Structures are given as C-alpha cells and as structure tokens.
Amino acid sequence: MDIVTGKILKRNGWPDGRIIGIAKDAAAHLLETGLDRDSVLARLSAVRADPGSFLADASLAELARECLRVSQPREASPAELRGEALRYPIWGRENIDDQSLAQMDNAMRLPISVAGALMPDAHVGYGLPIGGVLATDNAVIPYAVGVDIACRMRLSLYEVSPHLLGQKPALFENALLTQTAFGMGAEWKGNRRASHSVLDDSAWDATRLLQSLHDNAAKQLGTSGTGNHFVEWGSFRLQEPLFGLHPGEYLALLSHSGSRSVGFKIADRYSKLAIEKHPHLDKSVRHLAWLSLDSEEGQEYWLSMELAGRFASANHFIIHRRVAEAVGLKEAAVVENHHNFAWRERLPDGHEVIVHRKGATPAGAGVLGVIPGSMGDAGYLVRGLGVAESLQSASHGAGRMMSRKAALNSIAKSARDAYLKERGVTLLGGGLDESPQAYKPIDTVIAAQHDLVEVIGKFTPRIVRMADDAGDF
C-alpha cells in the first residue's frame, strides 16, 4: 500500500514545520480516493505552485492556505508613493474633469503601479476614476475593481423585426415589468427564484464570507440594482456578418447590472482589509490600498471576485431568458463583457500584470464588447483593436457629465421626458439622476476612441426598464 511520509515530502521540497503535517493529511486523503503515490505528490506540488487555485477544494484548501502563509513575504509592503506619477495616455481629454485626472495621477504614484490609461468616459470614482485602467505588479486593488464587482453588459439579438415593439408595446413592456426586479433589496421569492449552476459552485464554500452570501445570491439571482442598471428592448443594426447573422435590423435586448449584494459585500470586506494592511499609506490614496497576490487575503479576494463574475454573468442569463420567454422569443446571438474587474494579462515586454478596468471595457484584438449610452441614446457593439497603450481597453459607456446630486438638482422631469419622447423611448421607472442630460454625448465618446475599437453594430433603445429610486451619491 502506498504511503506518503514526512521524509518523502521533504525529499520533494516541502519545508519543515506545520505544513508537513497538513500535507501528510492531504496526501492520506488523496490516497484513499485511489490515486497512487506519484499522482498524489504531483497533486500536492500543484497546490504548492498555485495555492490560490485550491482554496475552493475541500480536501486541499487547508494546505493551500498554509502554503500562502508560509510563502508570504515578512517585510512590509512599500507605502511611500512615487514623487511623480508614471505617465499614461488619455483619450477624450477635453471632456474629462480635473478631479478625475488627479485621481488617476494618484493611482500612477502607487509603488505597485506599472502602467495605466484613462478612457473618454472618465469621471470621478472611489479611489480610481470610472474609466480608469490600471496595471499593477502582483497586487489587486479592491477599489480599483469597484464596489459592483463584475458589473457587465449583455446584448441578445433575435431574428425578428424590431417593428414588433411598435406593434405590440404592451407585450414587451409587460415582459420587462413582470420578469425583472430592480432596487437595492430586490429579490425573488418562492417559485420565482431562479435555478442556475452558479449556485452549486464550490467556491461558495471557500471562505466564511462567501458561505454567508450564498443565500442572498439565491434570492437575488436574476435581479438588477439601482442607478444606471437597466434592461431594455430596442432595435439593433448589424453592420457586418456576425454569428451567422446577415447585416440588417434586429430586435434586441440589452442589460446592464452586476453581482448585486454579493459583489458589494466582497468589495466592502476586502477594501477595508486592504486599508488596514497599509496604515501608513498617504490619505490621498487610502482607497487604493492593495492586497498582495502572494497573501492569503489577496488570493481570497481574487477567488471571490471571480465567483462574483460568474454570478453576475448568471444574473444576466436569467434576466434575458425570462424576458425573452415572456414574449415567445429565443436569442440568435449573444455578446457580453465585464467592465468592473481585474485580469491577469501580459504587457508587450512579457511582464505579467494585474489589469484593473474600473468602468472600462476589454478591447483586445478581435474582442467584442458593448458600450451603452444613456436611457435615451444609442449603444454600440464594438470590436477591440488591441492597442497596447490603452492596456487593450475602451470606455464602458458615455460617462457621467453631472454627479447624481447635480442632476437631481438641475434636470426637470419635463425636460427628461421631452428628450425621451422626441427619441421614441418609453421609460419604465428610472430616477432623474439617470436623465440623458446627465451623461456625455455617446457619439463624442465613441469618436474619441476610434483608434481603440471599431463599431460593428448600433443599438437604439425603445422600451427601458430601470429602478424607480435614485442611485447612490
């Protein structure tokens, strides 16, 4: 019978200490599953090489955590900022406020920053401006991902004429009113709760926080939040063949939302933890505190962020399926993308970095993405051109021209409604803080990044569903 002893583990490079006992226990469990000794040793070596990948593995999570603790550098991370910000390119500078530029400058002074870029929809955010793209060295910044982790877009196309919206408006409006749920506490109850494989994801058991969020996830699956979250019917003009569809006009459904309270609570927990870990970080960048990816906390956040991403994707899937079924349609093509997330990517020189896109769309060569306008303006399906200087990114929308508070104080309901009526848009819900007049002109923003993406389709909203209450200030 195969056994794995402490001596065998040491011969395979395992260090002395508590970790040997944990590795022996893990090896014994693996042997009981029928693996031979060589396979077990290979499995243990895989955990040591990439412990973060095993935090959700019930039999190897304890060993993975100990590997992270043992390998974590003992010296404190540098807290001193660079004297000058690293240089970074800006798209659409003439429409970006000075405060957003100051936030990006501060981000580029962080000792972990490697490169950055600012998109034309940029406006002030927490820590990193919305529209900010930041590449860091082996560290993740929770606030540079954002509080709505994996906020994303989904566009579904249907092989029917958009004229149906005018012929049967009540049918399509009712589908949005009955098959979506909006608001901070929005949830489905009883038999309205959705079923999806994301709820069976093993990552929910990886941390106590994720365990505590599973019930909320089940309640909120298939729901949307407040502010600029929406689900809307519209017409879509495809400019070139795609997914087997010919150029032409199609009925389309477009949605924008994220990971709901799951993402918010992950962001809240790890943002505070990052700040605690950098008590001497200058106050001007305290919201840009980071977690090393060599640390247990950093790996926990990364695993949690990726789970939130899968949950957000499932949210959109459920919303689109339910709304489409309510009108008897089946999608012919789908495009979706995150824009509040972090990715492992490589710079042209081969350096692996963590690219944070806070309100920015991935725009690698050939990568499809959706850049929406406001409730009353067009959105665009784009194909990335893979521009290295932008960290292969583009804007995530039009970007705010007014704060929510300023919009509420200056835009009359009559003015908003007149804007929508002129464009043939029916609004179901929607706060004045989301009025089209509060946003930059989407066509100006798209033109400012013509070298980053090419437009291959245009979405025109017709029936828009949003939360009745205003978003956060």
Residue whose C-alpha is closest to residue 381's, from 320, 310, 446? 446
Residue 291 one-letter amino acid: L
What pLDDT was estimated at residue 56? 86
Minimum mean pLDDT range among 22-36, 208-222, 224-238, 325-339: 22-36
Residue 436 DSSP SS3: helix
Residue 333 one-letter amino acid: A
Q: Please, what is the average pLDDT of the chain?
A: 93
What pLDDT was estimated at residue 473? 34
Split at pLDDT 50, 70, 90, the class of 158 is: very high
What pLDDT was estimated at residue 168? 97
What pLDDT was estimated at residue 470? 65
What pLDDT was estimated at residue 78? 61
Q: Parallel, antiparallel, or unpaired for β 340-346 and 291-292?
A: unpaired
In the Cβ-directed half-sphere of 330, how many Cα atoms lie within 13 Å? 0
Split at pLDDT 50, 70, 90, the class of 74 is: low
CA distances from 299 to 56, 66, 81, 276, 434 (A): 11, 12, 24, 17, 36
Residue 75 has pLDDT above 50, yes or no: no
159-192, pLDDT tens digit by residue?
A: 999 999 999 999 999 999 999 999 988 999 999 9
Split at pLDDT 50, 70, 90, the class of 6 is: confident
What pLDDT was estimated at residue 51? 87
What pLDDT was estimated at residue 330? 96
- Give dist(CA 216, CA 460) in Å, integer: 34
84-94, pLDDT tens digit by residue?
A: 999 999 999 99
Split at pLDDT 50, 70, 90, the class of 27 is: confident
- Domain ranges, ordered by start, for the chain: 6-71, 144-466
- Give dist(CA 22, CA 139) in Å, integer: 27
What pLDDT was estimated at residue 73? 61
Share of the chain above pLDDT 90, in %: 80
| 8 A C-beta contact, residue 429 and residue 398 | no
Minimum mean pLDDT range among 56-70, 364-378, 389-403, 438-452: 56-70
- Looking at domain 144-466, its CATH class is alpha beta
DSSP at 129: P
- Give dist(CA 450, CA 319) in Å, integer: 32
Residue 254 has pLDDT above 60, yes or no: yes
Share of the chain above pLDDT 70, in %: 97
In the Cβ-directed half-sphere of 226, how many Cα atoms lie within 13 Å? 16
94-125, pLDDT tens digit by residue?
A: 999 999 999 999 999 999 999 999 999 999 99
pTM of the model: 0.91
Minimum mean pLDDT range among 70-79, 215-224, 460-469: 70-79
Longest dimension (CA), the chain: 81
| 8 A C-beta contact, residue 401 and residue 433 | no
What pLDDT was estimated at residue 472? 57
200 burial level (CB within 10 Å; 0-12, 13-18, 19+):
exposed
Residue 441 DSSP SS3: coil
Residue 439 has pLDDT above 70, yes or no: yes
The C-alpha R_g of the chain, in whole angstroms, comes to 24
Residue 194 DSSP SS3: coil
